[in-house]
Amino acid sequence: TAREYAKIYAAEAESLEGFGEVPEIIPIFLVHRPENNVPYATVEEELIGEFVKYSVRDGKEINFMRKDSEAGQKCCTFQHWLYEKTNGNLLVTDFQGVGMKLTDVGIATLAKGYKGFKGNCAISFIDQFKALHQCNKYCEMLGLKSLPGGHQKQRKPTAMKSKVPPNSPNVQKRVASTQGFKRDREQEMGSAEQEEEGPV
């Protein structure tokens, strides 16, 4: 299921100028071995290179390799594209692999499945993805709509050492009173000098 959707995603994305290579979910083959104690096994292409987990099973976008790498961003876009394509009924997650070649992905569907598909992830992952997804340039290239409730990066305000803001009326009063004190002090000094210079 996930692989078939990935093919459709690739066909749409590759037609866009500048999108580049698209992640591929590699096929898994079922092998029947009647003479073996375990008569069935699965085999797939050996992936050579640095193996990266781009996302975790619950849709949380916490792996920095997922966010910072081209493959990771395109996996996020694939999730967003599929979510939109299926009206929020299906999510592919648990992306991992080498470069653009992915293996052993997870699928979350609605309670009774989506069009007969059976998921291996909790349906709550779909809501988590919706809340945590951050659109990137590839989402924009595909014209995907921002997800309602999608997570937006917000910069935390810098903590101030002083508890009172510099433009606070309290600070202005303090400055004014200090200036008033200086003026009063200067006047006192001036009158003292005049008394000293007075007639002998």
Phi, psi of 188 (to 5 degrees): -65, -45
Choice among 58, 68, 94, 104 that is catalytic:
94
- Which tokens sit at 188? 């006192």
Q: How far apart are CA 149 and CA 88, in angstroms?
A: 13
Report the run of H or E that residue 168 belongs to, with start and end: none
**C-alpha–C-alpha distance, residues 23 and 21, integer Å:** 7
Radius of gyration of the chain from Cα atoms? Answer: 32
Catalytic residue flag (residue 94): yes
| Number of helical H runs and strand E runs in the chain | 6, 8
Q: Would you please indicate which residues are annotated as catalytic (active-site) residues?
A: 94
